[in-house]
Structure 1
Amino acid sequence: MYGLGERYIMVENLRFGIVGTGMIANAIAKAIVDSETAELAAVSSRQLETAQSFAKQYGAVKAFDSWQQMVAWDGIDAVYVAVPTAVEESVCVVAAQAGKHVLADKPFANLPSLQRITAACRRNNVVFMDATHFVHHPRTQKIHHQIKETLGAVQAIHSAFFFPLMDSTNIRFNPHMEPTGALGDMAWYSIRAAVEFLPANVPLKSVEVSLQRDDQTNAIIRATGLLVFENGMTSTWAAGYNAGVCIMDLDILGTNGLISLNDFVLDWAKSFAFNNPDHQVGYTLRTGVATPKDFQFIPTPSAKSQHTLMIENFVSLSRSGQQSDLYGASIRSSEETQRLLDLIWEKAHR
């Protein structure tokens, strides 16, 4: 509820339905429950019992064993799509056609597939957002300000995202459902960091990539690469499941210094994977010939998790509509991330 003179206008929460009940769906369900502007109204799963258990856990009103029936239900306003990449487009498009706003997990099958999703949303006057959560943490905006104030022109991005996950029964090891494996799943965040922090609209000069596949399933379990832009900027990155350690490093090199993070994907304090409330979230700034005792740590606290902030920002977009500048920027970031991933994929298969 917000005030307008002496009148008050009631703004109802955005009612979500979730397609899928996996680990990420659980994380987003909690974020919806924790948000101030959204509520979880429904969930769908192939097994009704699974959907009912999920709904009970998070207080959803209704459970479905058909996502088609759920997205057609007038008891929801928006859909979070947490399904395998191979079937994501169909769910997103049908949801948009049903007049539901679409928040979709990454990656997408390819750029044309993503563009068909965003086009369906435009035609049906609903908004779309990809569920890249780290960009919603206050730290991201603070880094943008730091770049302008201190870092100078960004020359290079280096990132690494590894999570120990060598379970061949996991859906990520099914190339039919997740054809890009760790490249799409993990390196998406590295490429998104490049899109987020490198200057925009600079043509790409060259792409290099190396992929490692699982011997048993042929799934991609590690990817390493280099993007070189026409003005000399570079992005080096590595991502995968087989390092035996969680790594989330990001270095942003400017003409006047370096910004470093060791938790750029999921902050150590209050992300869905970690709960360390005493940990101070932020980044390290290095300039000149500073030794470790002179490194400057910049704290960027947040009262809410980045996943909850993502949900609340999505709700704000749904209210401001497609004409919002923020909405246009969000779509461009999604499409540029997927475009670069497509180029990397093509290079790997030449």
Structure 2
Amino acid sequence: MDKVIRWGILGTGKIARAMAEGLRDAPGAQLVAVASRSSDGAQVFGAEFDIEHRHASYQALADDVNVDVIYIATPHTQHAENALMCLAAGKHVVCEKPFTMHARQAQAVVALAREKKLFLMEAMWSRFLPAAQEAKRIIASGEIGLVHQIQADIGFVATFPPEHRMFNPDLGGGALLDVGIYPLSMAAFFLGPVSQVQALAEMGATGVDEQVVFSLRHAGGGTSSCACSVRTLTPTEMTISGSLGRVRLPNRFYRPDHLIVEPMDGERRVIDTPFTGNGYTHEAIEAMRCIRAGLLESPIMPHDESVALMANLDAMRGQIGLVYSADQA
């Protein structure tokens, strides 16, 4: 039997809860610790998921000798600080997306992981799902020819008050970092590194971007047309178009349970690609596979790509005039 990997979760919000549920379905995963900024938060979360070690500080989790790998589920303004703390304490790290606030922070986190010889991965869960892996296999098979273009959108109506994280510039609010990372990262997953970006945005009353459209040129050829919004309910689909056909990841492309193949000459077909548990299980399985194999990064979400994607986001933020206080850090 594969060695049990002991997990800790840093943070107790919505995304932390999703990962805790996902770990229940990951063979060989044991959720042994959680940390909140308060004792009450840790106790409530720990009781819900039957977690033995419940810490009232993030540092206490980083120092917990019972933990092998820590999943960072705090707001993205804290990702770099939290990741550096956990790595310094000798823990492997899986860090929620977006990886950091900007590329300089991402480079610093990667550099420390490599120095410490510890596993580090951005938790872009969509890449690890069976649908994404099947789409990748179809592209590699040549069935839809040479891929030239991707179209992707993601949008929902955010009904939160102005002080909510989504609209708060001090907490890295806005559509681009929160949901725009999905079409950006997935376009790069299928078409390769991005060499040029161009973005336009509508800014909101609190000074953050509420709608962004952006175009990508990929270094290996091809372009992508993407959009993200917290003002409108969009189709949230991705279409990967090649010279001989296309693959569609339909409604909620970031967590599809099927995909559609539409060859230029041939029958349209639907391929079921069910995911395990709530979907977060797959990134946990990959992280544990890498840790057991002694790998420092996952080939599905490598370090250099996480840094490059943050640089792409930096470039787009510069174009739309979105500045955060974290940019000075």
Alignment map for 1:19-58 (pairs within 5 Å): 19-58=10-49
1:159 corresponds to: 152
Q: CA RMSD in A?
A: 2.1
- TM superposition shift of 1:327: 4.5
Structure 2: how far apart are the matches of 1:51 and 1:329?
A: 30
2:236 to 227, 237, 248: 248
Contact 1:196–1:333 (CA under 8 A) maintained in structure 2: no
Q: 1:323 to 1:104 in 2, by over 3 A?
A: closer
Tell whether the 8 Å contact from 2:21 to 2:278 is kept in structure 1 after alignment. Answer: no
Q: Work out whether 1:134 is the aligned partner of 2:126.
A: yes
Distance 1:51 1:139, change over 3 A: same
**Is 2:57 the counterpart of 1:63?**
no
1:330 and 2:302 matched: yes
The reply to whether residue 297 of structure 1 matches residue 270 of structure 2 is yes
Preserved contact between residue 153 and residue 234 of structure 2 (Cα < 8 Å): no
1:125 aligns with 2:97: no
Question: Relative to structure 1, is the Cα distance of residues 329 and 131 closer, same or farther in structure 2, using a 3 angstrom cutoff?
Answer: closer
Q: Report deviation, 1:343.
A: 1.9
Question: Structure 1 vs Structure 2: percent identity of aligned residues?
Answer: 25
**Structure 2 Cα separation of the partners of residues 34 and 301 of structure 1:** 14
Report the secondary structure of 1:34's partner residue.
coil
1:222 maps to which of 201, 211, 230 = 211
Deviation of 1:328 after TM superposition, in Å, equals 8.4
Give the TM-score normalised by the residue count of structure 2.
0.90
1:99 matched to 2:90? The reply is: yes
Question: Which stretch shows the higher mean deviation, 161-170 or 233-242?
Answer: 161-170
The CA deviation at 1:27 is 0.1
In structure 2, which of residues 162, 182, 191 is the aligned counterpart of residue 189 of structure 1?
182
| 1:211 aligns with one of 201, 215, 220 | 201
- Tell me the alpha carbon deviations over residues 287-327 of structure 1, each in whole angstroms, 9 at most, x when there is no partner: 2277xxx5321222344443101111111111222367x45
Tell me if the contact between 1:195 and 1:336 (Cα under 8 Å) persists in the aligned partners: no
Indicate conservation of the 8 Å contact 1:101/1:126, yes or no: yes
| CA distance in 2: counterparts of 1:327 and 1:72, whole angstroms | 28
Residue range with higher mean Cα deviation, 92-101 or 255-264: 255-264
CA distance in structure 2 between the aligned counterparts of 1:84 and 1:185, rounded to whole angstroms: 10
Q: How does 1:266-285 map to 2 (within 5 A)?
A: 266-267=255-256, 281-285=257-261
**How far apart, CA to CA, are the structure 1 residues paired with 2:79 and 2:139?**
36
Give the direction of change, closer, same or farther, for the CA distance of 1:230–1:120 in structure 2 (3 Å limit). Answer: closer
CA-to-aligned-CA distance 1:24-70 (integer Å, 9 cap, x gap): 11100111122112111111112211110000001111211110111
| Offset at residue 230 of structure 1 (A) | 6.1
Distance 2:93 2:197 in 1: 31
Tell me the distance in 2 between the aligned counterparts of 1:68 and 1:46. Answer: 10
SS of the equivalent of 1:164 reads: coil
Q: Does 1:176 align with 2:167?
A: no
For 1:106 and 1:199, locate their aligned partners in 2 and report how far apart those are by CA, in whole Å: 19
Larger displacement relative to structure 2 (181-190 or 143-152) = 143-152
Residue 349 of structure 1, aligned match among 293, 318, 321? 321
1:195 offset after TM fit, Å? Answer: 1.0
Q: Is the 8 A contact 2:87 2:113 kept in 1?
A: yes
Number of equivalent positions: 318
- Residue aligned with 2:170, SS: coil
Q: Distance in 2 between matches of 1:42 and 1:51?
A: 9
Q: Is the 8 A contact 1:42 1:64 kept in 2?
A: yes
TM-score (norm 1): 0.85
Contact 1:15 1:76 survives alignment (8 Å) = yes
Contact 2:120 2:296 in 1 (8 A): no
Q: Distance in 2 between matches of 1:83 and 1:218?
A: 22
Could you say which structure has the larger radius of gyration? 1
Equivalent residue number for residue 327 of structure 2: none
> What secondary structure does 1:135 align onto?
helix
- In structure 2, what is the equivalent of residue 272 of structure 1? none
> Partners in 2 of 1:296 and 1:328 — Cα distance?
26
Contact 1:104 1:129 in 2 (8 A): yes
By how many angstroms is 1:231 displaced?
Answer: 6.5
